[in-house]
Each structure stands twice: as C-alpha cells, then as structure tokens.
Amino acid sequence: MYDMKALYEAQSVRDAIRLRLEHPEAQIIAGGSDVLVQMREGRRAGKELISIYMLDELRGVSLDEEDSIRIGSLTSFSHITRDPIIQQYINVLGEAVDQVGSPQIRNIGTIGGNTCNGVTSADSASTLFALDAIVELTGQNGVRRLPIRDFYIKAGQVDIRAGEGEIQTAILIPKESYENCFGKYIKYGMRNAMEIASLGCSVNVRLSPDRKYIRRCRIAYGVAGPVPMRVPTAEAAANGARPTRGMIDEFAEAVLLDIKPRDSWRASKAFRQHIAVEMARRALTEAIERAGGVIE
Amino acid sequence: MTVSIVGTSEPRVDGYDKAAGRTKYYEDRMPAEALFVKLKHAEKAHAIVRSIDTAEAEAIDGVVKVLTCFDVPELPFPTAGHPWSMDPGHQDVADRLLLNRHVRYWGDEVALVIAENEVAASQGVRALKVEYEELPFVLDAQKAMEPDAPRLHERFPNNILKHSDIRIGDYKTAIREPGLVKVEGWYETPTVQHAHIENHGCFAYMENGRITVVSSTQIPHIVRRVVGQALGRPWADIQIIKPYVGGGFGNKQDVLYEPLCAWCCTQVGGRPVRVDCSREETFVSNRVRHAIRFHIVTWLRPDATIAARKVELWSNQGAYASHGHSIAAKALGSFPQHYPCQHFEGDAWTVFTNRPAAGAMRGYGMPQASFADESNIDDCARVMGMEPMEFRRLNIMPQGFHDSFSGNTNYYDSFRQCMDRGAALIDYARKREEYSHDSGPIRRGIGLATFWYNTAVYPISLETSSNRMLLNLDGTVTLQCGETEIGQGADTAYAQMTAEALGLASYRDVRVVSCQDTDITPTGLGAYASRQTYVAGFSIRQTAGLLKEKILKYAQELTRQSPDCMDIVAGNIVRRGDGALLMSLKELAMTAQYNPVHSEHLTAESTYTIRNNAYSFGCSFAEVEVDIPMCKAQVKRIINVHDCGRLINPALAEAQVHGGQSMGIGFGLSEQLLFDEKTGKPLNNNLLDYKLSTFLDHPRLEADFIQNPEPSSPYGTKALGEPPTCSPAPAIRNAILQATGVAVNHIPINPHTLFAAFTEAGLIRDPWREEV
C-alpha cells in the first residue's frame, strides 16, 4: 500500500502538460521503478503523481528525417537492447541499458526515467554523454531541445521546466554522432547483477578509413562526479592518435585530470580513481577492436 | 519384496503447491480486519528516551492506539530459541523489554502505532516526537571491553556477556621446544544477515481469553514459552501456530516480534493485530551473524606437525544477549578437534556493542571459525613450503578421534575421504600445478577448506522429539511432528522415513501436517542445529513401531495370524513365512473404524529423548579467477563434499548444499552490514546496498557425498542443514592466495578489500593517488 495523495493518468502529451500545469507539486511517474521505491521509503510519501506510462506515442526507436536516432522517453531498457536500429548503429547503448538491475526492472524502467532522475550512476547516462545525445522536452511553449550535458544541472536535478508543463519526450542521437562509431560500456559494480554502478565508463571511437588512426574518441563516466561527465583531456590525447599500448595507457591515466570521484562508504576516491583508469584502458581497447582497428 | 523409500530422490511433498503459489504463509492466513502495527525505531545508537510526544500521531485518521516504552510491562525476557532449561544457571539471559527506554542500538524499538491501515500506521510513526538523552556508543567488540567504554547492560561489567576458555596440555612450556616455527594471524569475519526470502512477521488475536499468535518462526514451542514470559501469562495460555515459512537460517530461531504482537493484541481488546517486518527492519532489528575477530598462533615442528596452538576470539554480540556466548563457545571448541594437538590454549569473549543483536545463523559460529582456522592452516602450509592438502592430511582429526564431551567419534576417517573425493572431482593436483604458473593481470587459483559440525545440541541442551501418527481410512498415515518445515524439505524427509518404518508403498502415503500448532502438535524444539532429520529419525522410528504393533494386533483379530508372523510391506499386511498377502492397510483401516463389534481409531504417539550426537564432516574446493587491476575475484567452480551419513533424499541433500554454498560465496566475497562510525547508523540495510551474491555471481554449484552410515542414527543420517555454509569462504580465500600470493585475512573479499590488499602487496600501482 503506497502513501499516495492522488494519481492522474495522462491520456496524451498535451494532457500530461495540462496536468503538470494544474498540479505543479505532482511527481511524474513512468515505469515507477524509482518513484515507487522512494514513495515506499517515505521520501515521496503523500505526493501526487502524474502517470505518463500509458502514452504509447512516447515509446519506440526510429530514424527521423535527418537520420537522427529518436528514442521515445518511455522506451524500456529491454526494448532498447533488442531494437534493430539501436543494434545497428549504437549497440553500445543497448549493452549499457542491459546492465540495469534485473530483467524485471529492465522491462519496466524507461530511458526517460533513467535520465530525468538526474543521478550520476544511471547506466544509460554515460553512453548518452559520450554520444552527445540531445534531450527533447515538450511543454506549453512547444518543443525544446538541449544537449544532454546541459540537461543535467546537478545531482538529482535536471533542466525540466515544470512551470511550463514540460515533460521529457525523446532522446535524440544525431547522425554525425553515431555514424561509423563503435563503442564499449563498462559498468563497475560490486556484483554482476542487481547493481547500481560504482563507476560507469563509456567510450566510442571513429577510426580513419584505413583504420590506422583514431579520428574521434569520446569518453564519459558516471559516478566520477555529481553528474555524468566527459573527460576532455583524455579525448584530446586520443584524437588523431595511432592506437598503441602506450597511447592507450596515456589516455587512461589522463582521465584522472578531469574526473572528480568522491569518497563515500560505497567506495573510496582512491579506489574509484584506480578503477577509472583501468576501465578507460579496457573500454578504449575494446572500442578500437570493435571498429576494426589494430592496437600496436 | 523390499521397498527402499529412504535414500531416494523423491519430489518434495510440498513442491507442487509451492511452485503453483498455493502454499499458505502467515500473511495468507491474515484476518481481513487485522490492525497494522508499525514500530518507531530509535535513530540513535545509544541513548535514553526522555519523552515521546504522541499527540500528533494519535490525531491521524485511522490510528487506533499509540504505545511507547513508558507503557510496557517490566518483565525482562530472553529471546534465544533454546530449549527451556530446568537449571536456572543454564537459562538464557533475559535482557529484553517489549519497547525500550534505554536505546542500545540504532533501530531499537521505542514506540509503536496501531492503525487500521498501513499508511496511517506509517504516518503515525513519522509523526512521533522522541526526545533522547544521547550516550556515547561503541561498535567494536575489543573496544567495548576497554575500561572507559560505555556500558550497555548494568549486569555486565566491561560489556562482557561471557568468557570461556579451553586449556589442553601446557601451551607455555610447549612453545619453548627448539626448532618451532610460529605462524600468527588475525582473521576477521563480518556482520551478515540471513536474508531469507520471507521477512519475519506475525499476527495475534484473542479467543476465549487466550492469545493465539500465527508466526513465521522456526521454533513454535519455544515461542510459546517466551511469549508467556514476556507477558507474564501462563505458558499454556498461549497458542502459537506456525504455517509454511519462507526460510529462516536461524533468524527465526529467535523470538522476534511475537511477544510484542501478542501484547499489542491485549491492548486493543483482543482484536487481531499484525506486525510485518520490512526488509530494512529485517536487516537491523531482527538478528545478524556475530562478527568475530580471531587471533591464532600456531607452532609448527620442522616435520610440519602442530606442536601447540593458541586461539583468542572476540565475538560481537551487539545490543542484546540473544543466543549469546553459545556461538563463540562453539567456534572456539571447533579448533582443538579440527586439528588436534597436545597443547592448546583458547579464550573466547562475547561482548555487547551498540550494534544489532547477533543471534543464530546457519553454521552458528562455524563459518567464522572455519574461515579463521582454514586460513591459518593454509598460511602454515605456505610457511612450511607444503602443499595445503598434504598439510591437512598430516594434521587433521584422525580416524578414531573421540570427543569425550559430545561422545562423538570419527569412525571412518571422513576428512581424508572427503578431501580425496573432492580433489579427484575438481582435478585438484593438476590445476594446482597449472595455476601456479599463472602471471599477468588475470590469474587463477584453487583452494580448499574443511570443517566439522555437530548434529543437534546434546549434551549442551535438551534433545527431544515427539510425533503422532494416525492410520487414515484409505490406508495412508497422517504424521504430526514437532520439528518444523521452513523451506529446507524436512517434511519430505519425515514422509520418507515414516513410510519406510511403517512399510507403506510410497512416501506419498504419508500426509505430513506441515503446520505446527502448539495446542495440538506434539512438542518439538524446532528447526536449528542441523538436528531435525537426525532427531526426528529416532521418534519417527519409535512411533512407527508403536503404530505398527497396534495395526498388527488388530490384524490378528481379522486374520487369526500371530502378530509375530505378520509384517507390513508396501501397504499390505503379509505373512512373513510365505509372503502371503493377507489384506491391505486400507481394508484394515476401514474395518477397524466401522467394525460394529470393535471399532478402533488406530493412532500412536511418542517422545524420544535423544542422548547422542554425531560428527558431520566436509570440505569445499574452490577455483577462482582474479582480475588484479579490477580488484575482483570470481568463483569459477565450487565443489562441496560432505559426509553427513546416509542421505534420506539425495536431491534434497544436494539442494541443501547448493544453498549453503551460495551463502558461503556471499559470506566470502560480498556480504557485510556496514555502520557509520560517527553515528552507529546502519548504512546498507537494504537488498541493493547489501551485496547478496546473485545468480550471475555463482558458478554452477556442485555437491557430492561420502555416505558413511552414522551408527547412532536409526537411519544412518546426521547433520547437513548448516554444514554446507562452513567451508566455501576459506576455500575461496585460499584460492585467491594461490592465484595472487596475497593472504586476505578478513572477509568479505570484495573489491575494496582487494584494492587495499593488492596495493599493499605492490600488485597494483597507484602513482596517480598522489598526483590528483
């Protein structure tokens, strides 16, 4: 039995916006795998909820007119993992969200919920950062799109304007961002399932046509700071470089210049730093190999 | 024709309904009108409650009553699921009240709200305003013994619940022998929780002035006594009903919320009330396993035999006595029997701290002792440059070893048999050699650990078992047994033993009444100490003999044959001499019931007082792969070999081993309840942050058995419930030692532990630590 003040079921995106404007204090609920847990714990007890779970228009993966990959915000993790467009172009995202919790959670949890939570450990987030994803928000003033790095404001807070009735409606990956890119996500947890990342690392590369050079490398972490983050110093070390063991080591150690993991009872800063370097090394190696590159 | 029912892998008697979701647990029997009780747990590790403002809570719609620590009776009661002792000196420490003014751990109950629904009860609890006077607290057992440490219980100076020692020979003189090598280590095991699937809960109602409690418990007859003690009522005034239970592992071998629930019921005029523990509460406010710190000094002769040994251990009791020193005493007692030597000095302290109360948990001190002992033994082998299995073969309990206290004898040289079998199954020698060449970031290792375990609690406590058998009209037999099914498969074993003893055609012809009801069920002590199959075996055999006698006596009237000339075989009365089939049990049962001249209800019951014990033995072999840079150890293969006597049901025995291995893997690699050093607050009392190992953290679990019949048991059987949990953790630790050369002396060996250990050993470099 949940301590819930009211539940409003949105019938359309327009309806959801209306409900949001009418009930500014209400919490949006999609799959509920976070919201209901928090409600049970008493953190959101007594709140009003607006459910958008029935909005099928927000489900599914497609290519838009500009060949951007459009992922509806209510698309579940298991849907994303099995989607042919995802598998063809950005399989790394499918692999990343396949590491969320358990099969049951992956069936109910949505990518919109995963990002709107604003938590740094979200399994989708580091890969979306590494892919320069665009977040689409829809409110009373229409559609607003912003880069995912601007969407995250601080831990637990994202740029959704409740006052304008906004809800997140899609996540977009522009063609330039995924074309000829190969990626690898490594989740570091204390066990192999039912886990929240102690650290997540997503790397993707585009090699030169002869596969001898890294044209572009992007790397992002979850739990290396209050929000997911890119590590530009390491990227700069890889961009344009020939993939060698030495170069990869240099790249991996460079992540320490940008990441800011903290000490907590869940893991020490020193531990996270050590693991971050090893993850960068392994993720880049794997991404290069997936791109058909050979490491000298 | 002989039918062998015992020793066959029959399906569980309750398997179908459990798979179909039909089995009724306590919540499935809940009266619709039951009121909800929610508890206010103190948010201080050590404090005195000054006042509780209940006004706001009482004003909430749906709240029926608020009760606080200022309302409870001053009747201290014990909670351990031990049999009552007629000797006051051997009774459990009575240190509990229903609610506490003196808060002794973060989570102690100080008040409660009774409401018509769960939401109102929870809102009520949140609305309570408690004023505390804070006291200093202590979380570590050895620190709690220091002179200036805060004291938890007035009666226990230095927070020492109990100290015990063992002295064999003359340790101090023995260690002066020239040429001895000293192997010394500190070994530490964590606070872990049982994490059974079904949380504890219960409900209570009054009927005709008596109180009935339906509870998820392992020990209904003991709960009856403690509820009586806590409420100051005659014990027989209480009725406890135990329906199906979704696991206990010892947590429910303690009286948990039954007394509180019964008392709440009396405070609302006998209306039904329910107490349901959440998972978060289960971790903190039920029971946990004792964290134990060991200091071991082993003195070895040049020939690698043990000259002398010293063991000290400090067992963290937490806030209340519960099972108390029994665990530490059992842990200490394991050492001189496991590796006997002429000179032994051992001391065990059980110490109160401001942590959740530690109680019984599968293995009862032995998983802790086994971790320390088997780690030290591998360290000894390493120092002597000896292969660890060879070292064990040289020093482990020999065949014929006899313990005069328990009366146990190692009849068959079971340790060496188990090790030999396990080594052959896992290809130990070849792998040990192969893995010794591993280098680089990812390395493999193989390790081994052994244990021994007693069966039941004789002679420390009473061992008794009772049951009742009734011949039904269709020739089947109903069995009521005081020993409880809690998910382990006990009912199936009882059915098999009963069917074989009576000569029924199948174990399916035994209807086991799984539910214990203290008003009806013959007295049993419950599920603990790996006792039930062993002890029930005595009473089942005895009662079956009595019932058989009655059946054959009645058959005499119908067949004119002497009972001495008849037997029951496969559900029929037969003549022994020629095997002639005289009549079926069904015919006999119908006739006996409806015979107009002599009608008889054929039933028998008896009690057997068990005055035996039995050594159970075993070992684990574990293969691990260690990813050094990632600070991770993964178990690739694990095999347990047990000598638990003759198997009643091999498939169930195997399942029992799998469960124990799983628990052992979690104990060794990932599980640990953490507390904030600054506040004493539990940090990870939920299934996300408390790292139970999952399917993906397990290899395929493998079990094998050496079936040496136990001479003291009518069925040749002995302990298997707890033993599988004892040896996996040290086997994993020893495998990691082989893989990396790093001896990790505290568990869980999780990535944090390995990061520290590998850094110290120079296996991982950390120049960036200073840079950033």
**CA dihedral (B336, B338, B342, B343) positive or negative:** negative
CATH number, domain of B228, equals 3.90.1170.50
The last residue of a domain, from among B285, B300, B326: B285
Same domain, B558 and B448: no
Assign B767 a pLDDT band (cuts: 50, 70, 90).
Answer: very low
Tens of pLDDT, residue by residue over A153-202, are 999 999 999 999 999 999 999 999 999 999 999 999 999 999 999 999 99
Q: B298: helix, coil or strand? A: strand
Same domain, B443 and B558: no
Q: How many CB atoms lie within 10 A of CB B136?
A: 10
pLDDT value, residue A43:
85
Residue A222 has pLDDT above 60, yes or no: yes
Q: By CB neighbour count within 10 A (0-12 exposed, 13-18 middle, 19+ buried), where does A179 fall?
A: exposed
Query: At CB < 8 A and 24+ separation, what contacts does A23-26 make?
Result: A23/A48, A23/A50, A24/A162, A24/A163, A26/A50
Residue with tokens 């000829």: A180
Residue B263 domain flag: yes
Strands B566-569 and B129-134 turn out to be: unpaired
- Is residue B320 domain-resident? no
In whole angstroms, what is the distance from residue B615 CA to residue B407 CA? Answer: 9
- Locate all alpha helices (DSSP H) within B644-709, ordered by sequence: 650-669
pTM of whole model > 0.80? Answer: yes
The answer to whether B540 and B606 are in contact (CB under 8 A) is no
Is it the case that residue B3 has pLDDT exceeding 60? no
The DSSP letter of residue B136 is -
- CA–CA distances in Å: residue B355 to residues B106, B473, B632: 7, 55, 29
B297 located within any domain: no
What average pLDDT does the structure give for chain A?
Answer: 97
Q: Where are the beta strands (DSSP E) in B392-441?
A: none
Q: Do A45 and B676 touch (CB under 8 A)?
A: no
Q: Which of A196, A265, A268 sits opposite B688 (nearest CB)?
A: A196
What pLDDT was estimated at residue B765?
76
**pLDDT tens per residue across span A75-106:** 999 999 999 999 999 999 999 999 999 999 99
CA gap B668, B547 in Å, rounded: 48
Q: Which band of pLDDT confidence, cut at 50, 70 and 90, is reported for residue A23?
A: very high
**Residue A41, pLDDT score:** 87
CATH of the domain at B591: 3.30.365.10
Asked if A3 and B119 come within 8 Å (Cβ–Cβ), the reply is yes
Residue B536 lies in a domain: yes
- Tell me what pLDDT residue A148 has: 98
Do residue B592 and residue B624 come from a single domain?
no
Residue B766 banded pLDDT, cuts 50, 70, 90 = low
B306-318, strands of its sheet edge to edge: B160-168, B343-352, B306-318, B291-300, B181-188
Same domain, B583 and B531: yes
pLDDT, tens digit (0-9, with 9 covering 90-100), for B166-181: 999 999 999 999 999 9
In a domain, B76, yes or no: yes
Residues A256 and B141: their CA atoms lie apart, in Å, by: 39
Cα gap B97→A273, rounded to integer Å: 48
Same domain, B85 and B225: yes
User: Strands, DSSP E only, in chain A?
Assistant: 4-9, 27-29, 47-51, 61-63, 69-72, 134-139, 142-147, 152-154, 157-158, 167-173, 182-188, 199-207, 214-222, 229-230
Nearest to A191 among B122, B697, B771 (CB): B697
Contacts of A45 in chain B (CB under 8 A): 122-123, 126
Q: What is the CA radius of gyration of chain B?
A: 28
Distance from CA of B629 to the nearest CA of A (A): 7
Contact A278, A201 (CB under 8 A): no
DSSP secondary structure letter of residue B443: E
| Measured CA distances, A41 to A5, A44, B42, B490, B606 (Å) | 15, 8, 16, 36, 50
* A and B: number of Cβ contacts within 8 A: 72
* Boundary residue ending a domain (B241, B260, B285): B285
For residue A128, which phi and psi values (nearest 5 degrees)?
-65, -35
Residue B768 has pLDDT above 60, yes or no: no
Q: What is the mean pLDDT of chain B?
A: 97
Beta bridge partners of residue B293, listed in sequence order = B188, B314
Which of B30, B128, B752 to probe by mutation at the A interface, max A CB count within 10 Å?
Answer: B752
Counting the structural domains of chain B, the total is 3
Q: Count CB neighbours of B283 within 10 A.
A: 26
Same domain as B664, residue B586: no
Quick check: is B129 in a domain?
Answer: yes
For the residues B33-40, what does the mean pLDDT come to? 98
Across the interface, do A256 and B676 touch by the CB < 8 Å criterion?
no
Instruction: List residues of chain A with CB under 8 Å from any CB of chain B.
Output: 1-3, 42, 45-46, 188, 190-194, 196, 198, 253, 256-257, 265-268, 270-271, 273-275, 277-278
Q: What is the mean pLDDT of residues B234-255?
A: 97
CB pair distance less than 8 Å for A277 and B630: no
Do B674 and B727 sit in the same domain of this protein?
Answer: yes
Residue B268 CB neighbours (<10 A): 16
Q: Alpha helix (H) ranges present in A54-110?
A: 77-82, 84-89, 91-97, 103-108
Residue at B665 is within a domain: yes
Question: What pLDDT is attached to residue B770?
Answer: 45
The reply to whether B277 falls in a domain is yes
pLDDT tens-digit series, residues B540-579: 999 999 999 999 999 999 999 999 999 999 999 999 999 9
Is the Cβ–Cβ distance between B673 and B690 less than 8 Å? yes
Q: For residue B210, what pLDDT band results from cuts at 50, 70 and 90?
A: very high
- pLDDT for A242-266, tens place per residue? 999 999 999 999 999 999 999 999 9
Residue keyed to tokens 């040429």:
B179
What is residue B156's predicted lDDT score, i.e. its pLDDT?
98
Domain range for residue B592?
A: 15-21+464-476+490-510+524-609
Residue B692 to residue B194: CA distance in whole angstroms: 10
Q: What is the pLDDT confidence band of residue A1, given thresholds at 50, 70 and 90?
A: confident
Q: Between chains, do A42 and B696 touch, taking CB under 8 Å as contact?
A: no
Q: Are residues B102 and B231 in the same domain?
A: yes
Write the ipTM: 0.96
Distance CA B213, CA B265 (A): 10
End-of-domain residue from the set B228, B257, B285: B285
Instruction: Give CA B547 to chain center in angstroms.
Output: 33
| B55 and B91 both lie in a single domain | yes
* Residues in B 128-187 with any Cβ partner in A closer than 8 A: none
Q: Kindly list the residues from chain B whose CB atom is less than 8 angstroms away from the CB atom of residue A273.
A: 768-769, 772
Cα–Cα nearest to B660, from B615, B726, B704, B614: B726
Residue B87 pairs in a beta bridge with none
Residue pLDDT, tens place only, B658-682? 999 999 999 999 999 999 999 999 9
Domains parsed from chain A with CATH numbers:
4-51 (3.30.43.10), 60-174 (3.30.465.10), 182-290 (3.30.390.50)
Residue of B nearest to A270 (CA): B769
Is B58 found in the same domain as B46?
Answer: yes
Report whether pLDDT(B341) > 80: yes
Same domain, B108 and B198: yes
φ, ψ of residue A192 to 5 degrees: the values are -95, 0
Length of chain A (residues): 296
Three-point CA angle B415, B459, B534, nearest 5°:
60
Q: What confidence tens digit (pLDDT) does each residue in B626-666 have?
A: 999 999 999 999 999 999 999 999 999 999 999 999 999 99
Cβ separation of A192 and B768 shorter than 8 Å?
no
My answer on whether B626 and B719 are in the same domain is yes
Q: Which two tokens stand for residue B659?
A: 């469960």
B230 vs B13, B238, B343, CA distance in Å?
36, 11, 45
Q: Give the residue-averaged pLDDT of B407-419.
A: 97
Provide the strand spans (E) within A129-181.
Answer: 134-139, 142-147, 152-154, 157-158, 167-173
Q: Can you read off the two tokens belonging to residue B16?
A: 């179908």
pLDDT at B1 over 60: no
Instruction: Say which of B684, B697, B750 has its CB closest to residue A192.
Output: B697
Strand partners, A79: none
